[in-house]
Structure 1
Amino acid sequence: MTVMAVSLHFWLLAQETVPTAENLEALFKEVTWRSLLQALLTVAIAYGLLTAIQSFTTAISEKVPRRFRLVIKQSVPFLKALVLLVAIARLLHLFVNPTGSNLLALTGTIAVALGFAFKDYVSSIIAGIVTLFEGSFRMGDRVRIGDHYGEVVNYGLREVRLRTPSDDTVTIPHNTLWNEPISNANSGQLEAQIVTDFYIAHAANVELVSDLLYQAAYSSRYTQLKLPVTVIILEKPWATQLKLKAYPMDARDEFIYKTDLVLRVKQACARHHVPYPQVGWPNADEASGASSE
């Protein structure tokens, strides 16, 4: 509906100036070999700059101090948009007489054509622009869009790309974001809260295990000590559940950090002979469901 409304708006504005066979010469400049070569050169330079921006910022962001990595990556969509705007303006200057009526007529005609023929593609572009300025997520953020979770590694004209924990690349069209919920783990920050679940038997010393969880978090080399560490205790029919909430210094270390915490807690519990819930408990199905919360 948005694309159709925009197309109709431009079409109505351009009704009096839509180009016809009689005034095409007034609308377009004469096409020469020189202008064609300049257009090809403009497209080639724009493509090269877009590729260079992506490659250069990715390489530089991995070499600078960690606190600057996301700042560099977050500049990529804006730099790409600037290159595209300059390239489009240059192409229009080469082939179109830049008068107000001509630009209005051309814009209206293109809007109508795109609105009917490429409405999904145009919708993705518009959604990408809106999302870029709304700041729902940025390059380097760890987000969940629908059923997909991963790090934002590319923000293109039509789609966003996520790298999942299994190292797959998921391409999501921007227009999907109109209706899909977006969960952002770090919102432009290096740190993202990590929640690790532990389960012990009802007979275990809960205070002791809680202290062990705090010790494991504060002794891990991945923990960002400037941010709070919290232990939440929940009582289940089949066990006592403890949630350890802490922040790694880099959100990229999410799964390495969780592994480190689990190893430390398991070793500490073994030294203190902490009992675990018995295998084969009648509510085992509930246990598997709770672990996915």
Structure 2
Amino acid sequence: MMDDLGVKEAFASITGQALLKALLVIVIASLVTVVIQKVFPRFAEKLGGKPRLYLLASVPLLRLLIILGTIVAVVPILVEPSFENMVAIFGALALALGFAFKDYANSLIAGIVTLYEMPYRPGDWIEVDGQYGEVRAIDARAAEIVTPDDTVVIIPHNKLWNSLIANDNDGTDNLMCVVDFHLEANHDVGQVRELLRDVAFTSPRTKTWQPVVVIVFNKPWGMHYRLKAYPFDPKEQFQFISELTARGSTELARQNVRFVSAPVAVN
């Protein structure tokens, strides 16, 4: 089948010198890729905020550009860049990927779609199939996320085709945190709402220029409050939630507002 595509004729003119040149190009491209993958994340951690997210997001895009540039540079070195040769080579490559690496090719294509549509980027906090964490790296086939328990989870890009992906900050440094309080009904609702808003606004971790909202629901067992606010750094979301929970509980206790004492099904 490969002979029918003209692959044999396309590679017939390859010389040892051409192979050495192609190898040199590949080695240089690999070294540049490694440097980018090592240096950019370290530099991004020192910047913080939006510059950190933008710099992290540039890593997979630069890697893809290097890979494409390497292919464009190597193929003419090895093969005479005629129309017939290009059709033969890329036709054989597509055929090989289709039969031997169907799932892998599926993930590679999804990876290209990921870089174009950017449903998630390095630095984003996403949830896929019940796994929640920060995107640490986006490779050609899969993305790596680090969960709050410091577990690395590999998520193939082909999850794009059939899974819901929740992105909490979507390429920004704004990530809303929600703190729940389940209280008995006998209290001043307006006073409790103001108290919880003050708890959020007085936290040193709160972005006070972003909305701080307290939503209350009337439940059969009492009142359900949801305090919504934004921390300065998405990485601090769990410390932020813990702080608001602790300080909110303390202030509510001072006002003699009681939490529900029996386990309930909370929506």
Match of 1:158? 141
Q: Which segments of 5 or more consecutive residues in structure 2 lack a partner in the other structure?
A: none
CA distance in 2: counterparts of 1:223 and 1:120, whole angstroms:
44
Does residue 227 of structure 2 align to residue 227 of structure 1? no
CA distance in 1: counterparts of 2:258 and 2:86, whole angstroms:
76
Q: How does 1:94-173 map to 2 (within 5 A)?
A: 94-173=77-156
Q: 1:89 aligns with which of 61, 67, 72?
A: 72
Match of 1:68? 51
Q: Cα offset for 1:43? A: 2.7
Distance change in 2, residues 1:262/1:30 (3 Å)? same
Could you tell me which amino acid in structure 2 is paired with residue 178 of structure 1? W
CA distance in 2: counterparts of 1:265 and 1:239, whole angstroms:
17
Q: How does 1:201-216 map to 2 (within 5 A)?
A: 201-216=184-199
Could you tell me which amino acid in structure 1 is paired with residue 260 of structure 2? P
Distance change in 2, residues 1:117/1:97 (3 Å)? same
8 Å Cα contact 1:128-1:157 kept in structure 2: yes
Could you tell me which amino acid in structure 2 is paired with residue 62 of structure 1? E
Match of 1:5? none
Q: How does 1:34-45 map to 2 (within 5 A)?
A: 34-45=17-28
Q: Deviations over 1:66-90 (max 9, x none)?
A: 2311111111111101111122222
Distance change in 2, residues 1:26/1:44 (3 Å)? closer
8 Å Cα contact 1:29-1:94 kept in structure 2: no
Q: Deviations over 1:260-292 (max 9, x none)?
A: 10111112112212112123xxxx351xxx2xx
- SS for the counterpart of 1:85 is helix
8 Å Cα contact 2:19-2:78 kept in structure 1: no
CA distance in 2: counterparts of 1:109 and 1:275, whole angstroms:
71
Q: 1:57 aligns with which of 17, 40, 63?
A: 40
Matched residues, number: 267
Q: Deviations over 1:237-258 (max 9, x none)?
A: 2221100011112111110110
Distance change in 2, residues 1:158/1:98 (3 Å)? same
Does residue 11 of structure 2 align to residue 18 of structure 1? no
Task: Provide the alpha-carbon RMSD of the alignment.
Answer: 1.9
Does residue 247 of structure 2 align to residue 264 of structure 1? yes
Match of 1:29? 13
TM-score for both structures, normalised by structure 2? 0.93
- SS for the counterpart of 1:277 is coil
Could you tell me which amino acid in structure 2 is paired with residue 196 of structure 1? V
Q: Cα offset for 1:92? A: 1.1
CA distance in 2: counterparts of 1:240 and 1:160, whole angstroms:
41
CA distance in 2: counterparts of 1:28 and 1:197, whole angstroms:
70
Does residue 229 of structure 2 align to residue 253 of structure 1? no
